[in-house]
Amino acid sequence: MGGTFAEKALGRSVGRTLRANEVVTVEPDFCMSHDNTGPISRTFKKIGVKNVWDPKRLVVILDHGVPAPSSDHAVNHKEAREFMREQGAPHFYDVTSGGGVCHQKFPEEGFALPGQIVIGSDSHTCTYGAFGTFATGIGRSEMAAAWATGQIWFKVPESMKITATGRLGRGVSAKDFILKVMGDVKSDGADYMSVEFHGDGIENMSISERMTLCNLGIEMGAKNAVCPPDAKVLDFIKGREKSADWEPIWADPDAVYAKEMTYDLYDIVPGVAKPHTVDNYAAISEVRGTKIDQAFIGTCTNGRLEDLHAAAEILRGKKIAVRTVVIPASWNIYREAMRDGTLDALLDAGCIVCNSGCGPCLGAHMGTLAPGEACISTANRNFKGRMGDKDSFIYLASPYAVAASAARGEITDPREAIGL
Amino acid sequence: MKIRGRVWKYGDDVNTDVIFPGKYTYTVKDRAEMAKYALEDLDADFNKNAGPGDIIVAGKNWGCGSSREQAAICLKERGIGAIIARSFARIHYRNCLNEGLPIIISSEAQDLANAGDEIEIDFEAGVITAAGRALKFPPYPEFVQGLVNDGGLIPHVKKSLGLA
């Protein structure tokens, strides 16, 4: 009997063969934290250990409230900055043009490597599975404990195999595929599980699209989500690697799965997750015409160059009908989009382009909603109150659909906007 | 340990954004102050009236979404005695245990008690008692029990490092 990705990746870390449901203690290859580094450092100090176990394994990227929208946020940033300096920890990404959203910067900087174990004090840490990394979100206390001990316990998860064949149609994106999957699996359908994406449909996808898929693993309850570490991944990480101790690992053909599902990407249509749950799926045709007050294009889910290109493809030469906030997921992406004219196209359409960071995704700043307002967003969560007021409404959709909807002020099938 | 408390009852998929809203995640730093915002976007009655010893009884996937540990801290600081749910989202499950907030997985608890009922939980015996009926629940897995016995992860780690 062969192993699943999770069994093999955790097994590599402990040096023996593992099977689902065993409990193991592993040493993480990297520990990612963001603005919560300040509070974590306070908890760390309570433990009574002076130094973190390995300062080179800490990666801190400020993104949740940047630049600081309040003095409370500024204090968090200050604590993070001081802690990293005290610890002599080199991998600190401050509020500069070298930063961005943590889940974008982490792979850009070469920390997401095949076969490695990454823990992050953010639920969307599962994004790094796009690079064949076993990456999972944890809480603040666990991060403080991991810094002190260099160890964390895991139950080896059971696995779910999602196979995709074929290619997505024009105006349809990886987001539409994963919204459909989330609607089928439901928000707890993969609870505690490792979600593996297989098939030529995944091989056909870009790194950016695979990041969108893995990013939303947590919204099905998954411990981690992962795509095969193929040539596209190896090409991406070449020259960026921040560690030499990595190895492409993938599930064996005879691995045992708790659940298997298969999709033909030709069948996927533009979709949305309606308020207020991520699994409240509808084909866009079912909600077409719903009035919106704001559109948001960005985040670790869909703030990459391809996403901005998709939005610009729709909005070039048009004007937006509702306020539209665009936030590139990193400053590298910002610069590329500036150079290739994408930002000009979006600005010409009337969008505002904000500095790279999490923006309004978690309701902190830069585009929060008023009571009764509706927003169509490329982000990953549409929970009640997520973007500000508990009486506002969030529809999750692809960059194509958000841009097409921004142009009309109502939810719009992007295929109409590109003349299909 | 035995606790007795009043039941607050909720459905499926209660996420950590409604347990502790995101707008407070980087502005409220005091643990006791976090208690003020518990369930603010879900239930105004709870937010105003829940008190020490009260017990939350919920459906599936309690605590889904963000990894914010404040969702566990605000309930712990509010004095919530335990959370009983059909299932817990993974990160929140760990956060509750790490904060020393007792949690119980039970598929039948929702049928056992109504909102406002007084119920009793005997953790050693693994029994929930409500309206004269008793319901068994399984003990924590062995590897979790050590954490629970020490009152949460940080005391547990201090002890294991000889710093307690």
CB A74 within 8 A of CB A35: no
Surface of B (116-145) touching A: CB under 8 A: 141, 143
Q: How many CB pairs under 8 A join A and B?
A: 129
CATH at A112: 3.30.499.10
Q: How many beta carbons lie within 10 A of that of residue A141, not counting itself?
A: 29
**Side chain identity at residue B105, one-letter code:** I
Is the Cβ pair A384, B42 closer than 8 Å?
A: yes
Cβ-based neighbour number of residue B61 at 10 Å = 26
Give domain status of residue A42, yes or no: yes
Number of domains in chain B: 1
Task: Tally the domains of chain A.
Answer: 2
A248 DSSP assignment: -
Phi, psi of A190 (to 5 degrees): -115, 25
What residues in B contact A145, CB-CB < 8 Å? 153-154, 157
* Same domain as A69, residue A31: yes
Residues of chain B with pLDDT under 70: none
Return the sign of the alpha-carbon dihedral for residues B111, B115, B117, B122: positive
Numbers of helices and strands, H then E, in chain A: 16, 18
Which chain A positions have a beta carbon within 8 Å of B13's beta carbon? 187-188, 277
Q: Is residue B149 part of a domain?
A: no
Confirm if A381 and A219 have CB atoms less than 8 A apart.
yes
Give the residue carrying structure tokens 């999709």.
A263
Nearest neighbour of A76 by CB, restricted to B21, B26, B94: B26
B73 touches chain A (CB under 8 A): no
Is B123 a member of any domain? yes
Residues of B in contact with A185 (CB under 8 A): none
Residue A71: inside a domain: yes
Instruction: Mark yes or no for CB contact B99/A141 under 8 Å.
Output: yes
Distance CA A27, CA A13 (A): 7
Q: What is the residue-wise DSSP string for B15-57?
A: BHHHHS-GGGTTT---HHHHGGGTTTTT-HHHHHH--TT-EEE
Which domain covers residue B20, as residue numbers? 2-138
End residue of a domain, out of A203, A236, A263: A263
Residues A281 and A362 in one domain: yes
Q: Are residues A293 and A192 in the same domain?
A: no
Least Cα separation, residue B131 to chain A (angstroms): 31
**Order of strands across the sheet with A159-165?**
A224-226, A194-198, A159-165, A259-264
Q: What residues in A contact B141, CB-CB < 8 Å?
A: 23
Quick one: A204 and A303 in the same domain? no
Q: pLDDT truncated to tens, each residue of chain A (420 aa)?
A: 899 999 999 999 999 999 999 999 999 999 999 999 999 999 999 999 999 999 999 999 999 999 999 999 999 999 999 999 999 999 999 999 999 999 999 999 999 999 999 999 999 999 999 999 999 999 999 999 999 999 999 999 999 999 999 999 999 999 999 999 999 999 999 999 999 999 999 999 999 999 999 999 999 999 999 999 999 999 999 999 999 999 999 999 999 999 999 999 999 999 999 999 999 999 999 999 999 999 999 999 999 999 999 999 999 999 999 999 999 999 999 999 999 999 999 999 999 999 999 999 999 899 999 999 999 999 999 999 999 999 999 999 999 999 999 999 999 999 998 887
Whether residue A319 sits in one domain with residue A227: no
A251 lies in some domain = no
Cβ–Cβ contact A143 with B under 8 A: no
Expressed as residue numbers, the domain containing A361 is: 271-417
Please report residues of A whose CB lies closer than 8 A to that of B90.
191-192, 221, 223
On whether both A125 and A26 belong to a single domain, the answer is: yes
Give how far A123 is from chain B: nearest CA, Å. Answer: 5
| Chain B residue with Cα closest to A124 | B66
Same domain, A278 and A195: no
- Kindly state whether residue B147 falls inside one of the protein's structural domains: no
**Beta-carbon count within 10 A of A206 CB:** 15
Interface of A with B in 354-373 (CB under 8 A): 362-364, 368
Q: For the purposes of burial, counting CB atoms within 10 Å of the CB of A244, is it exposed (0-12), middle (13-18) or buried (19 or more)? A: exposed
Please give the Cα distance from A333 to A298 (Å, whole number). 11
Same domain, A75 and A205: yes
Partner residue opposite A72 with nearest CB, options B17, B27, B160 = B27
Q: Enter the pTM of the model.
A: 0.97
Residues of A in contact with B59 (CB under 8 A): none
Element (H, E) at A374: strand A374-377
Q: Does B3 touch chain A (CB under 8 A)?
A: no
Q: Do B18 and A385 touch (CB under 8 A)?
A: yes
A34-A37-A38-A43 Cα dihedral, nearest 10 degrees:
150
* Rg, Å, chain B Cα set: 15
Q: A65 touching B, CB under 8 A?
A: yes
Q: Which of B157, B158, B160, B161 should we substitute to test contact with A (largest number of A Cβ atoms within 10 Å)?
A: B157
Q: Is residue A290 part of a domain?
A: yes
Select the residue from A43, A147, A155, A188 to test the B interface by mutation, using most B Cβ atoms within 10 A: A188
CB B102 within 8 A of CB B81: yes
Does residue B47 belong to the interface with chain A, where contact is any CB pair within 8 Å? Answer: no
- As a dihedral over the C-alpha atoms of residue B109, residue B114, residue B119, residue B122, rounded to 10 degrees, the angle is 10
CB atoms under 10 Å from CB of A329, counted, come to: 31
Given an 8 Å threshold on Cβ–Cβ distance, is B26 in contact with A64? yes
Pairwise CA distance, residues B64 & A149, whole Å: 27
Closest to B57 (Cα-Cα) out of B132, B128, B151, B133: B128
d(CA A176, CA A215): 13
Question: For A138, which of B64, B67, B161 is closest by C-beta distance?
Answer: B67
Amino acid at A41: S
Same domain, A277 and A239: no
Same domain as A129, residue A210: yes
Q: Tell how strand B127-130 and strand A194-198 pair up.
A: unpaired
H helices of A196-230, where?
A: 200-203, 207-215
CA atoms of B82 and B54, how far apart (whole Å)? 8
Residue A250 lies in a domain: no
- Strand-pair category, B127-130 with B2-9: unpaired
Q: What does the alpha-carbon distance between residue A319 and residue A349 come to, in Å, rounded to a whole number?
A: 4
CATH number at residue B29: 3.20.19.10
* Contact status, residue A210 vs residue A112, Cβ threshold 8 Å: no
Q: Which among B42, B87, B157 is the nearest to A145, CB-wise?
A: B157
Nearest chain A Cα to B60, which residue? A188
A139/B27 CB distance under 8 A: no
Tokens of A220: 């099905």
Other Cβ atoms less than 10 A from the Cβ of A293: the count is 16
Any B CB within 8 A of A221 CB: yes
Contact A141 B95 (CB under 8 A): yes
Structure tokens at A287: 């909600």
3-state secondary structure of A371: coil
Judge: B157–A149 Cβ closer than 8 Å, yes or no.
Answer: yes
ipTM: 0.95
Let me know: does A246 contact A111? Beta carbons within 8 Å. Answer: no
Query: What b/e string do you get for A73-90 counting C-beta neighbours within 10 Å, with b at 16 or more?
Result: beebbebbbebbeebebe
Distances in Å between the alpha carbon of A329 and those of A106, A171, A301?
A: 11, 21, 9
Q: Which residues from chain A sit within 8 angstroms of residue B100, using beta carbons?
A: none
> B144 lies in a domain?
no
C-beta of residue A330 within 8 angstroms of C-beta of residue A340: no
A 10 A CB-CB count for A25 gives 13
A74 and A177 in a single domain? The answer is: yes
Contacts of B91 in chain A (CB under 8 A): 123, 137-139, 218
Helices B142-149 and B153-160, packing angle to 10 deg: 90
CA–CA gap between residue B96 and residue B74 (Å, rounded): 10
A218, A313: one domain: no
The confidence score (pLDDT) of residue B110 equals: 85
Q: What pLDDT is attached to residue A153? A: 96
Residue of B nearest to A157 (CA): B90
